Chains A and B, each alone.
Chain A
Amino acid sequence: MATAKQPKSILKKASYPATTSSKEDRDREVALYHANLIQQRKDIELNIFFSTETLIDYPLAKSPYDASNPSPTDAKEFKQFLRPFQPTDYDELIHERNTNEKCGYTLCPNARVKDGSGGKYRILGTNGKAKDFRVVEKEELEKWCSEACAKRALYVRVQLSESPAWERDAAGSTVNIDLLDEPKSAEGAIAEGLEKLNLEGGKAVKQQDAADLALERGDTGLAAKNGLVDVNIQEKEVQRPAQAPSLDDLSGRVDTMHLTLEGHTPEFGSRRQRRHTEDLENEEDPDTDWRM
């Protein structure tokens, strides 16, 4: 054909941002960006390691506190330390505590039980219902001082986020962890209340507020904070004064408004019939739509 026309590309036109920087500069930026990511990750991992090391020696408070009634400060710090943990990190903590002959639950001061007799497995629930019957590895049982502590520890474990801390968004990193047995002594509650009072005007609260505000505005986690792509949200300026909706311009649609789904009003009958008649008309000269 003589009038061969260049086919129009359906691909989007690449619109690179106008960059004045040279290739080396851009390469350096990319390298720095990835190096920073790795450094952040290493920092967090080291942080988790130090937290694990600290938590081995918990609980710091002696009796009258125990696992069912932990001291408020210990519980608070435990939750604080646990924020960046993944379930696997938590397992390592339990393992570490066990190598030091402690109960796997961090807020429990007891030693773990040691079953002296041999054998790899234990049979549980022989005198209960059939659904309670279990065969468990001995190692699993020796992690804790009691079944209650196992429950408490695993209750915490399921609340930890599966995604690693450096990939979490802001919402994930401020998640709150609940204990199965929160500190409940009256004395402790008062002490905690006092602490809260002190903090009310303090820095921590302000920081928390700022973080919450940032979250609300849509700032995300560490990873996206200095991303390769600049995302600027531009407010659309309102040109004309806002008008309250009135019934006047609705008057034409009032009787079909109850049928409207998200602004669309389905129509039955009339349109379908119209199309049907159109089809009938078209059938008179069939197969002509290949013509240009």
Chain B
Amino acid sequence: MSADEEKAKKQREAGEREAARLWRAWRTVHEMVQDRGYELTDEEVKISFDNFKYNYASDGEEDIIDRKKMKFSARPSDAMMVRYSNPPTAADPNPASPDIGTIWVEFLPDSSVGIKQMRAFAQYLTSHNFHTGILVTNVNITPAALKIIPAVASETRIECFVEQDLLVNITHHELVPQHVLLSKEERTALLQRYRLKDTQLPRIQLGDPVARYFGLRRGQVVKIIRKSETAGRYASYRLCV
């Protein structure tokens, strides 16, 4: 085999590996968006490797995936709207509409992500009226760029993930119990049932990997269902802080 052929083969293999990585991240992001309750078809979520390569290969070379093409949006399902809705109370008979909306997911090809890229992403989200945006990057985002997120929090919600963290879907691991987000009504019912203040619940951090996966917000309560040897199933509740 000549040196050129060998080099080409190596390049192809590297491209293949990169494509496999991206495919796994792509599937995890789709599962994440679906698990949160957005509308996605099963074909979209369970895309095969060949289909993925066919759809997202860059125009010139077939081996290389073009990250610029990897973007999609999803609308919240009716069930999700119900889960996020504010129940009417005596003081407030006409509560505000649920704080949820279309989500936009984008993979960023840049080899470094600074304020410029984040600002562009935030502007894209606000101009297209996306409620939430998920930015998947190849590299770590600079600390200064992360300060944009609270600055634009009133207009749009930005979440950032690194490709490497999305290679595996952590919620499918056998040691990660099932997490279910409670609606506000269920939350008040729970607190009344056990006569608790919400601060008396056990807590889960906002930056917890599972909390990030489900996009939890401060004050929300998740029900965690574990297998128990003695009781079969054991449910506990955690407040997101």
> Could you list which residues of chain A lie within 8 angstroms of chain B, going by C-beta atoms?
45-46, 49, 52-53, 56, 92-93, 95-96, 99-100
User: Is A95 a contact of B147 with CB atoms below 8 Å?
Assistant: no
B138 to chain A, nearest CB (A): 13
A57 to chain B, nearest CB (A): 9
User: Is A92 a contact of B142 with CB atoms below 8 Å?
Assistant: yes
User: Is B113 a contact of A99 with CB atoms below 8 Å?
Assistant: yes
B197 to chain A, nearest CB (A): 19
Q: Which of B48-56, B114-122, B211-219 is the contact stretch?
A: B114-122
B112 touches A (CB below 8 Å): yes
Cα separation A49 to B118 with both chains bound (whole Å): 13
Cα separation A46 to B151 with both chains bound (whole Å): 8
Contact residue among A49, A93, A99, A100 (Cβ-Cβ distance under 8 Å from B147) = A49
User: Is B114 a contact of A93 with CB atoms below 8 Å?
Assistant: no
A109 to chain B, nearest CB (A): 17
What are 7 A-B pairs at a CB distance below 8 A? A49-B144, A49-B147, A49-B148, A52-B115, A53-B115, A56-B115, A95-B114
What residues of A have a CB within 8 angstroms of the CB of B143 in the complex? Answer: 92, 95
User: Is A53 a contact of B142 with CB atoms below 8 Å?
Assistant: no
User: Is A96 a contact of B151 with CB atoms below 8 Å?
Assistant: no
User: Is A99 a contact of B142 with CB atoms below 8 Å?
Assistant: yes
Interface string of B145-167 (1 = CB under 8 A from A): 10110010000000000000000
Residue of A nearest to B117 (CB): A99
Cα separation A93 to B147 with both chains bound (whole Å): 13
What residues of A have a CB within 8 angstroms of the CB of B144 in the complex? Answer: 49, 52, 92-93, 95-96
Cα separation A99 to B115 with both chains bound (whole Å): 9
A80 to chain B, nearest CB (A): 19
CB < 8 Å A-B pair total: 34
5 tightest Cβ-Cβ pairs between the two chains A and B: A99-B114, A99-B112, A92-B144, A49-B147, A96-B114
What residues of B have a CB within 8 angstroms of the CB of A99 in the complex? Answer: 112-114, 116, 142
Residue of B nearest to A50 (CB): B151
Interface string of B93-116 (1 = CB under 8 A from A): 000000000000000000011111
Q: Would you call the interface of chain B mostly helix, strand, loop, or mixed?
A: helix
| Contact A96 B142, CB 8 Å, known A52-B115, A56-B115 | yes
Residue of A nearest to B118 (CB): A53
User: Is B151 a contact of A56 with CB atoms below 8 Å?
Assistant: no
Residue of B nearest to A92 (CB): B144
What residues of B have a CB within 8 angstroms of the CB of A92 in the complex? Answer: 142-144
A6 to chain B, nearest CB (A): 46
| Contact A100 B142, CB 8 Å, known A46-B151, A49-B151 | no
What residues of A have a CB within 8 angstroms of the CB of B115 in the complex? Answer: 52-53, 56, 96
Residue of B nearest to A101 (CB): B112
Cα separation A91 to B106 with both chains bound (whole Å): 29
A68 to chain B, nearest CB (A): 26
Interface string of B14-50 (1 = CB under 8 A from A): 0000000000000000000000000000000000000
What residues of B have a CB within 8 angstroms of the CB of A52 in the complex? Answer: 115, 144
What residues of B have a CB within 8 angstroms of the CB of A100 in the complex? Answer: 114, 116
B38 to chain A, nearest CB (A): 31
B153 to chain A, nearest CB (A): 12
Cα separation A53 to B114 with both chains bound (whole Å): 10
A88 to chain B, nearest CB (A): 9
A248 to chain B, nearest CB (A): 71
What residues of A have a CB within 8 angstroms of the CB of B113 in the complex? Answer: 99
Cα separation A93 to B144 with both chains bound (whole Å): 8
Residue of B nearest to A97 (CB): B114
User: Is B142 a contact of A45 with CB atoms below 8 Å?
Assistant: no
Interface centre among A49, A56, A100 (most CB of B within 10 A): A49
B162 to chain A, nearest CB (A): 16
Cα separation A222 to B139 with both chains bound (whole Å): 39
B116 to chain A, nearest CB (A): 6
A171 to chain B, nearest CB (A): 28
Residue of A nearest to B113 (CB): A99
Interface residues of B in 142-198 (CB under 8 A from A): 142-145, 147-148, 151
A44 to chain B, nearest CB (A): 12
Interface residues of B in 111-139 (CB under 8 A from A): 112-116, 119
Contact residue among B116, B142, B148, B151 (Cβ-Cβ distance under 8 Å from A95) = B142
Cα separation A100 to B144 with both chains bound (whole Å): 13
B54 to chain A, nearest CB (A): 33
Cα separation A92 to B146 with both chains bound (whole Å): 11
Cα separation A92 to B116 with both chains bound (whole Å): 14
Cα separation A208 to B186 with both chains bound (whole Å): 58
Interface centre among B143, B147, B151 (most CB of A within 10 A): B147
B166 to chain A, nearest CB (A): 22
Residue of A nearest to B143 (CB): A92
